[in-house]
């Protein structure tokens, strides 16, 4: 398979990013942003999450 095709099928759609953008909009300047659950499973599955403290 061409590399371009593989990249197109592995990049998630907007529904993966819009909740992140919405969450970042809720963050206050005094709050700290932390990433958690950011380890890869089976070499490719990632469920990286954001925590605002």
Distances (CA, A) of 5 to 1, 8, 11, 13, 41: 7, 5, 10, 15, 23
Tens digits of residue pLDDT in 6-15: 556 666 677 7
Percent of the chain surpassing pLDDT 70? 77
The answer on pLDDT for 2 being more than 90 is no
pLDDT number for residue 1: 53
Quick one: average pLDDT of 20-46? Answer: 87
User: Higher confidence at residue 38 or residue 6?
Assistant: 38
Q: pTM for this structure?
A: 0.54
* Average pLDDT taken over every residue of the chain: 80
């Amino acid at each position: 398979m061409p590399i371009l095709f593989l990249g197109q099928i592995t990049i998630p759609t907007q529904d993966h990013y819009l909740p992140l953008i919405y969450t970042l909009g809720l963050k206050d300047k005094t709050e700290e942003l932390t990433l958690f659950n950011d380890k890869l499973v089976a070499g490719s599955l990632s469920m990286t999450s954001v925590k605002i403290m």
